[in-house]
Structure 1
Amino acid sequence: MKTCKVIKNNQWLILLLVYTVLSAIWAYIVITKSDILFNKSVFKNLLFYIDWVTTLCFIVLVHIGVYNRHYFIVGISTLFLFLFLSEISYFIYYGEIISVGILDSIVESNANEALSMSKQVLIIIGPAFIATALILFIFRKIITVKLRPTIPLSFCIISLSVMVCAITRDQSLNREAQRGYYKNNAVLFRHTYPAAVGNLSYLLASFASTNIYSSTNEIEKFNEAILLPPNKTDNDLVVLIMGESSLVSRYSTYGYHKQTAPFMTNIFSQNGACIIQNSHSAAAFTKDSLPLTLSFNIPESDDNLFNNKSIIEMAKFNHYKTYWLASPGQGIKDSFETKFGFIARKSDVVAFGKDMHDIYLSQLLEETLQQDNSPKKFIFVHLRGSHQPYENYDEIDKQALPDAEKYDLTIHHTDRTVKALYDVINKYSHNYTLIYTSDHGEIVNVGHGVSSTNVDQFLIPFMFISTNDRYNCQFIESFRSPTGYLSGLMNKYILSNLLGYDVDQTILNKEKNNDRVFMPDGSVMPFLKISNND
């Protein structure tokens, strides 16, 4: 009997030691990968020790829950174990912890995007599911130690109480909560409870915060950079074609060795056209990049999204009829309760193609131009482009590039799509300006928004053509940053000029001199820091 008791005590000590080491490792990973060290070493950061203890409490409580007599508690504990192992699996696969951008995308993605990412999700949750089953088997068959919940529960209650007090005393967080925005509150939970609980709380907060995008009221105020009144416009038709997940180095237009974009090369090599070198997006996610293009949103704050007219509303103010045309793969939720859905719903017309392949968007554009004789039109076209799983191509693309990988075929399909849209524009208008760019780049065969160091998710094409001599290559080049790059943050100012608005040069120069990007983890970083690290 004494021998059994000694073995049981030793098993308890060994198990607690293992849990303590695992908790310390996870806390170390979270601190070093979250960009929250503030120039301190990990072991001088108080948050490391807080995360260590909260993670240890989480693991101990999951252990206790698995042995509970009530099936509901066993099920909840198993779910939390699976979620935690999924986070570990994500880190092993990507070398990054799950970012707030990824969590927001889970909430704000449409069904098509969610299905398109199913392969990547399976890669993460598959090993986590197997590991969960294996650990449960070991718990039930080998480990018989039962731990007491008093200490971990007490610490969780105390730490939660302290955090609630801190949140209620923060006036800015209170103001955000009053307008229905809870995500910054949840960020504190992510920092304090890095094992599953924090990410789950952020998901719930992100879901609850989508109501702030539901307003249909027109915004009255113009951004301070816009000089009023607007001019009489000399562009009858302004078209912005927004690609998806397009890495500039895969375009033959920019020197790629395979002929992935012969049509665009021809179109944007004409008189009045230009192929812009060194262009980057303002963010690595569509949900962030589009608002930074189509509104006066800035990486540091969403306030301008709600307080200033968007490009759509500015176009309407200056007598343009506005259209939002998109591939079904880029469909917006019926509620429009996403950040760029908030902008899209302000358009006069929102319409989606009938086929998943982008090439058919030219038919939608032709129907639009045939049926509407409005003298001025601003049309935004959002492609499915090269979004994973890289299936936006057809037999024509495969015949043109028989030995190409799937990603290159999607670029070729985008090339054909832009050509088809360009032909429709030329057919119905002799006074137009057309821009083709992308919402962000792509780490080919990996994705986007999953790494904080890879510059490929920001490098994009930018091509421009106008029948108006006033809007030439020098016009576009005037928006280039001293860093040598044309930032996606300049899109709003370029479009403002095209739609008849003058821009305050002092504010514009300040923005040009501050070339930064919104990172997947929610931080803001100078673009050169990323490009130099690559």
Structure 2
Amino acid sequence: MKTCKIIKNNQRLILLLVYTVLSAVWAYIFIIKTDTLYNKSVFGKPLFYIDWITTLCFIVLVHIGVYSRHYFIVGISTLFLFLFLSEISYFIYYGEVISTGVLDSIIDTTSNEVFSMSKQVLIIIGPAFIATTLILFIFRKIIAAKFKSIIPFFFYIIIYIIALFIVTVITTDSSLNNDIKRGYYKGSANLLRFTHPVVVGNLSYLLASFASTNIYSSTNEIEKFNEAILLPPNKPDNDLVVLIMGEASLVTRYSTYGYHKQTTPLMTNIFSQNGACIIQNSHSAAAFTRDSLPLTLSFNIPESDDNLFNNKSIIEMAKFNHYKTYWLASPLQGIKDSFETKYGFIARKSDVVTFGEDRHDIHLSELLEKTLQQDNSPKKFIFVHLRGSHQPYENYDEIDKQALPDAEKYDLTIHHTDRTVKALYDVINKYSDNYTLIYTSDHGEIVNVGHGVNNTNVDQFLIPFMFISTNDRYNCQFIESFRNPTGYLSGLMNKYILSNLLGYNVDQTILNKEKNNDRVFMPDGSVMPFLKFYNND
């Protein structure tokens, strides 16, 4: 009996030591990967020790819960263990901790996107499930050590309460207070993630993200124009303005931009004509669609969503200046039925929102032709959202495989996009002789990895930008005038380019200020100067 007690005590001591080391390692990883200390010493900051304590308490409480006599507690503890191991699996696979962008995408993602990302999800949760099963077997069959719950539970709850109090104090006198009044709770919940970096912090953020989607449900027209827009607008020069937005399209995979395989011969021909431009050195403003589209189609800025709710979007501005507005998209780019997403908030302001019936983008030209055939409105602004090269890289057909028989799947999707843009261009030419067309992408792609999952790889921001207009006023010099001093054309300039195309003048002082402030919205929710990010890659 005494020997068994000694064995249990030794197991308890060894486990506590293992848990302590694991907690310290995870706290260190979380802090350096979220850059919360802005490159200052990790060990000299109280936050590291707070995260260490809460992580240790979490692990010990899960251990205690697994041995509970109550099945509910055992089930919850097992779920928490699985979620923690999934976070570790995610870090091992991507080299990053789960960011707020990834958590937001979980809430905003449609069922089609969930299915398309199933392979990546299985890569993360598969090992976590196996590890969870193995650990539970070891706990039940080999380890007999138990801990008392009072001490870890006390410390965990006390720190959580203190964190909530600090959040409350901070939000009283800051922009977060306006967010909360508007029904947007994610900013506050994100602060809790910094003190509880394991499972509970992320679950708190997911709950806040879910509760915040109602702020995107309003259908009321916004009356106020952004301060950069000079009123009244001019009579528009363009009868038809079309923005084709690609998806996850990495510019270095385009033969138009020098890639060794002929992935985009058709676009090369289209945008090499008179009145057309192939723009070099372009980057997106964000690595997620949910963030990038609002930064293009509204006066949203990386630092704040206030302008999304306070200023007219590009679509509303088009309607104000007598354009009929269309949102056409691949069925796999569908928006939730409630439209309660950030870019769904913009999309629903369109006069017509329509999704194609075939999953391949090439058929969107049929939808566009149907639209132009049936509508005799003199002015139209059409946004076309492609499936493009989104994982799992299946947006291609036999024609693409025959054209590039030895190409990898990602390159086939780029070739399919090339054919799609050509088909859309042919329809536009057929029905209009006074148009302007832009092709770009919402963000780039880390090929065979994804996007929005890594704070160090610039590929997820490098995108194509191509332009053609029948109006001499809108030439290559017009586009180049929006290039910033660093030499890049930022996705943040899209809103100003579109404003001009739709008949609006822009305050040059405000425009220059934005051009001189080239920054990107990072996957972890931070904002960074693009050149600093690019040079650190």
For the criterion TM > 0.5, the same-fold answer is: yes
Contact 1:323 1:348 in 2 (8 A): yes
Report the Cα distance in structure 2 between the residues aligned to 1:465 and 1:38, rounded to whole angstroms.
43
Contact 1:435 1:465 in 2 (8 A): yes
Q: What is the CA distance between 1:376 and its match in structure 2?
A: 0.1
Q: Determine which of 272, 275, 280 is the counterpart of 1:272.
A: 275
Partner of 1:63: 63
What do residues 226-260 of structure 1 show as CA deviations (whole Å, max 9, x unaligned)?
00000001100000000000000101111111110
- Give the letter for the 1:56 counterpart: L
Q: What is the CA distance between 1:164 and its match in structure 2?
A: 2.2
Contact 1:167 1:174 in 2 (8 A): no
Report the Cα distance in structure 1 between the residues aligned to 2:366 and 2:139, rounded to whole angstroms.
60
- Give the letter for the 1:118 counterpart: S
> 1:21-36 alignment to 2 at 5 Å?
21-36=21-36
Q: What is the CA distance between 1:318 and its match in structure 2?
A: 0.2
Pair 1:238-2:232 in alignment: no
Partner of 1:442: 445
Report the Cα distance in structure 2 between the residues aligned to 1:254 and 1:223, rounded to whole angstroms.
35
* SS, match of residue 38 in structure 2: coil
Report the Cα distance in structure 1 between the residues aligned to 2:440 and 2:178, rounded to whole angstroms.
36
Report the Cα distance in structure 1 between the residues aligned to 2:385 and 2:449, rounded to whole angstroms.
22
Partner of 1:248: 251
What do residues 406-456 of structure 1 show as CA deviations (whole Å, max 9, x unaligned)?
000000000000000000000000000000000000000000011111110
Partner of 2:331: 328
Partner of 1:362: 365
Pair 1:457-2:463 in alignment: no
Contact 1:296 1:310 in 2 (8 A): yes
Q: What is the CA distance between 1:529 and its match in structure 2?
A: 1.3
Q: What is the CA distance between 1:388 and its match in structure 2?
A: 0.2
Contact 2:283 2:461 in 1 (8 A): yes
> 1:95-494 alignment to 2 at 5 Å?
95-169=95-169, 170-171=171-172, 172=174, 173-494=176-497
- Give the letter for the 2:112 counterpart: N
Partner of 1:89: 89
- Give the letter for the 1:117 counterpart: M
Report the Cα distance in structure 1 between the residues aligned to 2:501 and 2:455, rounded to whole angstroms.
34
Contact 1:438 1:460 in 2 (8 A): yes
Contact 1:325 1:353 in 2 (8 A): yes
Report the Cα distance in structure 1 between the residues aligned to 2:255 and 2:265, rounded to whole angstroms.
7
Contact 1:441 1:459 in 2 (8 A): yes
Q: What is the CA distance between 1:157 and its match in structure 2?
A: 2.1
What do residues 15-63 of structure 1 show as CA deviations (whole Å, max 9, x unaligned)?
1111111100100100111111134201001100000000000001000
What do residues 273-293 of structure 1 show as CA deviations (whole Å, max 9, x unaligned)?
010000000000000000000
Report the Cα distance in structure 1 between the residues aligned to 2:461 and 2:232, rounded to whole angstroms.
35
Report the Cα distance in structure 2 between the residues aligned to 1:326 and 1:39, rounded to whole angstroms.
42
What do residues 195-220 of structure 1 show as CA deviations (whole Å, max 9, x unaligned)?
11111111111011000000000000
* SS, match of residue 42 in structure 1: coil
Report the Cα distance in structure 2 between the residues aligned to 1:108 and 1:225, rounded to whole angstroms.
30
- Give the letter for the 1:92 counterpart: I
Pair 1:497-2:500 in alignment: yes
The unaligned stretches of length 5 or more in structure 1 are none
Contact 2:394 2:413 in 1 (8 A): yes
Q: What is the CA distance between 1:385 and its match in structure 2?
A: 0.1
Report the Cα distance in structure 1 between the residues aligned to 2:178 and 2:241, rounded to whole angstroms.
38
Contact 1:183 1:202 in 2 (8 A): yes
Report the Cα distance in structure 2 between the residues aligned to 1:475 and 1:98, rounded to whole angstroms.
40
Partner of 1:20: 20
Partner of 1:3: 3
Range with greater deviation from structure 2 (502-511 or 177-186): 177-186
Report the Cα distance in structure 2 between the residues aligned to 1:176 and 1:385, rounded to whole angstroms.
34
Considering only aligned residues, what root-mean-square deviation do their CA atoms show, in Å?
A: 0.8
Q: What is the CA distance between 1:8 and its match in structure 2?
A: 1.5
Q: What is the CA distance between 1:166 and its match in structure 2?
A: 1.8
Report the Cα distance in structure 1 between the residues aligned to 2:400 and 2:251, rounded to whole angstroms.
19
The unaligned stretches of length 5 or more in structure 2 are none
Report the Cα distance in structure 1 between the residues aligned to 2:222 and 2:336, rounded to whole angstroms.
22
Q: What is the CA distance between 1:158 and its match in structure 2?
A: 1.3
What do residues 289-346 of structure 1 show as CA deviations (whole Å, max 9, x unaligned)?
0000000000000000000000000000000000000000100000000000000000
Report the Cα distance in structure 1 between the residues aligned to 2:468 and 2:161, rounded to whole angstroms.
59
Report the Cα distance in structure 1 between the residues aligned to 2:159 and 2:360, rounded to whole angstroms.
51
Q: What is the CA distance between 1:532 and its match in structure 2?
A: 1.1
Q: What is the CA distance between 1:3 and its match in structure 2?
A: 2.3
Task: Using the aligned pairs only, state the percent identity.
Answer: 85
Q: What is the CA distance between 1:7 and its match in structure 2?
A: 1.6
Report the Cα distance in structure 2 between the residues aligned to 1:506 and 1:328, rounded to whole angstroms.
41
* SS, match of residue 104 in structure 2: helix
Q: What is the CA distance between 1:519 and its match in structure 2?
A: 0.1
Range with greater deviation from structure 2 (33-42 or 260-269): 33-42
Pair 1:518-2:521 in alignment: yes
Report the Cα distance in structure 2 between the residues aligned to 1:531 and 1:69, rounded to whole angstroms.
54
- Give the letter for the 1:209 counterpart: S
Q: What is the CA distance between 1:188 and its match in structure 2?
A: 1.5
Report the Cα distance in structure 1 between the residues aligned to 2:369 and 2:120, rounded to whole angstroms.
36
Report the Cα distance in structure 2 between the residues aligned to 1:478 and 1:341, rounded to whole angstroms.
30
TM-score normalised to the size of structure 1?
0.99
Report the Cα distance in structure 2 between the residues aligned to 1:184 and 1:426, rounded to whole angstroms.
46
Report the Cα distance in structure 2 between the residues aligned to 1:228 and 1:178, rounded to whole angstroms.
31
- Give the letter for the 1:48 counterpart: F
TM-score normalised to the size of structure 2?
0.99
Contact 2:164 2:192 in 1 (8 A): no
Partner of 2:75: 75
Report the Cα distance in structure 2 between the residues aligned to 1:376 and 1:174, rounded to whole angstroms.
41
Partner of 1:43: 43
Q: What is the CA distance between 1:175 and its match in structure 2?
A: 3.2
